[in-house]
Structure 1
Amino acid sequence: MNTTYDVKFWEIQHRVGQKTSSYIVRWTVGRFGKSKSFRTKGLATAFLSDLRQAAKQGEAFDLATGLPVSLLAANSSEPSFLEFAQSFILRRWRTLAARTRETDAYAMLSLIPALVTDLPGRPDDEALRAVLREHALLPEKRRSALSPELDAAMRWLQKASLPISKLGDAATIRMALDAISVTFAGKSAGANTVRRKRAVLHHLLELAVEQKVFSSNPLDGVKWSAPKAATTVDPRTVVNPDQARQLLDAVAKVGRKRGARLKALFACVYYAALRPEEVAALRETNLTLPESGWGLIVLEGARPQATKRWSDSGETHEDRALKHRAKKDTREIPIPPALVAILREHIEKFGTAKDGRLFRTAKEGTYSSSAYSYVWQEARKLALTPSQVASALAARPYDMRHAAVSLWLNAGVPAPEVAKRAGHSVDVLLRVYAKCMDGQHDHINNKINRALG
């Protein structure tokens, strides 16, 4: 692109023909005269004002088109990266869960502000992310009114965003990969975060291939390795049965009422290996709780937590299908007498919500992850030694699920049955819990010895 800063403007001309009249904007770029006609004086005045403002801000003007760099993308038939990203997010909106929508948008908060031309007057990064989060990446009916600051940020992004075709250049792809490799504070991002954001970028570029923008995915042509992410459970996080019981007893002692109401929730995570979002959806009708012996949970769905702006209902929790399963699919988990007794006691003490849910706040809502995580950390202080509290042992409520699955595998329960109860595929189960399958070396060695004769 050949550009210059040598620009001059002339007064708007009004031309009257036999049937129509027009208003002509005239200017020169270098030694080349340029003009553009408009039907109304207001449109012509606005266009001339944009040109003057660009020159005042020190923008270069393209010799071929006569336009400032900031207006080139807006006047091209090709969508900008911002426009394509908006289209990508909104076309997937209807079919995705709220948390997946949030993951898509979170990747765009890194990518869109990075894939821009260097125009004067760039807003700060927080303003750019705010206008994307609260306006540009939401369906039109959900968008909030923009403050003057965010309106300016939106207009700057619309002018500065690179054409989508620029991602066909290896240098631009590397800019994108650099952007997803750091946090908003500029530090190295976690491996899982980088891998998730790269996956979103890959899906976006696959859409561009589908729409004939590219003949193949530009990411495939760049040699770049994602950081290694831990895919196995750390055995140091796994509690033994005695420690699990001590933690559950300690939960009931946290606070005046909240801990007591949450003991059964954590017990479901440990004894039935339920995910927290599955426990949140648990209703009395899902339970078979005999007076003695084993009981049964028949899971029908989950209530994952997400930010309100990304959910269909505008609430933080929504009813969804079970993870990786069809809409009306269910999962059966036999539960030991210890959990049966805890659930029977919970229902007797606290009853259920109007819709039958077992675990709800005083206002019939669903406990947030921050609320039950706080209770969990307080329980760890009561049940564990100071060195254990400082360690990774049961550091998160989810680690109780890891403890359950590890216990089942080490007890000799066949992997397909463990996978069925935990809601995993067998290959994922064995890969994720490979390091937690301890205590079987002698048994395996004896089998090999017998095979060798």
Structure 2
Amino acid sequence: MSGRALDAISVTFAGEEAAANTVRRKRAIFHHLLERAVEQKVFAFNPLGTIKWKPPKAVTAVDPRTVVNPTQAKELLNAVPRVGRTRGVRLKAMFACIYYAGLRPEEAADLRVKNCTLPESGWGLIVLEKARPQGTKRWTNSGETHESRSLKHRAKKETREIPIPPALVAILRDHIKAYGTAEDGRLFRTSRGGSYSSSAYSYVWQEARALAFTEAQVNSPLAARPYDLRHAALSLWLNAGVPAAEVALRAGNSVEILNRVYAKCLDGQRETINGKINNALEE
């Protein structure tokens, strides 16, 4: 039975091979379900331990082909307001937070005016307190698809400070001046005060790509998802020489994960390493 179950979670409903991360997550859920059955005396033992099965390897490193350079990022952000009547102009600042501050989309979705220090000139500061992931109404305490939760990999009430460049400060100041905030202080909301669904802002993103990119770029992995703006931000910081510990602190990652995930996005490292090897060989 367990073997057939593992085969079942390895494919999609369409019968195609499922993504590695999806398979590993479903396998973990299945394991915990069986452990619960053992605790309830339904099973004498967890049968998964007797099955030889290797989960598919998940791709953990960022594909360098998805990472935009600063010029491409600005072109994309400038294209966003041209999408739709109101949705695009309301979302530009949210996408800008993902790029300039390295926020996760769910972190940007819960950003509030009280979290932002936005001086008239110079660098500002974002102090993140919560994230606003999208879920299913059955699994949220509020019964809504979006609700505020603690930051990823952080304890309850723990915050994260992120200095933000003048370009983002100006964008946020303009956004607040034009659209104000929601009743709870959120910066990014629909015209009716709700939260944007992932499908809604992903649609705007794809339309912006079509406006800003060539046909070849549109058909490539370049900035295929809004999340790729975060990858571009962290890659930029690392390539600019910001210490990995500081990048990890701002991004909410560990240094270990940062080095593993962004190893392929560090321009110029190969030439530096090759030079060191060459110097050693000539000694």
For 2:262 and 2:34, the matched residues in 1 are separated by: 33
Q: Cα distance 1:388–1:294, how it changes in 2: closer, same or farther (>3 A)?
A: same
Distance 1:301 1:244 in 2: 26
Aligned to 2:199, what secondary structure does the other structure show? helix
Q: Amino acid of the residue matched to residue 373 of structure 1? A: S
> Equivalents in 2 of 1:379, 1:392: separation in Å?
14
Distance 1:210 1:430, change over 3 A: farther
Letter in 1 for 2:97: C
Which secondary structure does the structure 2 equivalent of 1:252 belong to?
Answer: helix
- 2:226 matched to 1:226? no
Look up the SS of the partner of 1:333 in the other structure: strand
Q: Which runs of 5+ in 1 are unaligned?
A: 1-171
- Taking only the aligned residue pairs, the percentage that are identical comes to 74
More deviation, 385-394/435-444: 435-444
State whether structure 2 residue 73 is matched by structure 1 residue 247: no
Q: Please say if 1:412 is aligned against 2:236.
A: no
User: Which amino acid in structure 2 is aligned with residue 382 of structure 1?
Assistant: L
In 2, the alpha carbon distance for the partners of 1:214 and 1:446 equals: 60
Q: Which moved more, 1:187-196 or 1:207-216?
A: 207-216
The TM-score normalised by the length of structure 1 is 0.60
Q: Which residue of 2 aligns with 1:426?
A: 255
- Report the AA paired with residue 46 of structure 2: N
Q: Give the counterpart of 1:182 among 11, 35, 57.
A: 11
Q: Is 2:27 the partner of 1:198?
A: yes
- Matched to 1:240, the amino acid is N
Q: Distance in 1 between matches of 2:169 and 2:205?
A: 21
**2:126 aligned counterpart, secondary structure:** strand
Deviation of the 1:441 alpha carbon? 2.3
Residue 297 of structure 1 aligns to a residue in which SS?
strand
Task: For residue 309 of structure 1, report the CA deviation from its aligned partner.
Answer: 2.1
Deviations 1:158-214 (A, max 9, x none): xxxxxxxxxxxxxx2111111212222333222222111111111222334445555
Equivalent residues in 2 for 1:33-182 (5 A)? 172-182=1-11
Bigger Rg over Cα: 1
Cα deviation digits, residues 391-414 of structure 1 (max 9, x gap): 110011011011101111111111
Is 1:348 paired with 2:177?
yes
Match status 1:336 vs 2:165? yes
Amino acid at match of 1:268: C
Residue in structure 2 matching 1:395, options 224, 229, 237: 224
Q: Distance in 2 between matches of 1:186 and 1:392?
A: 24
Q: What amino acid does structure 2 have at the position aligned with 1:401?
A: R
Maintained 8 Å contact 1:410/1:440: no
> Which whole-Å CA distance do the structure 1 matches of 2:50 and 2:116 have between them?
53
Unaligned runs of at least 5 residues, structure 2: none
Aligned length: 282
Instruction: Tell me the amino acid that sits aligned with residue 174 of structure 2.
Output: E
Deviation at 1:446, TM superposition (A): 4.5
Distance 1:343 1:184, change over 3 A: same
Q: TM-score, structure 2 length as denominator?
A: 0.94
Q: 1:444 to 1:215 in 2, by over 3 A?
A: farther
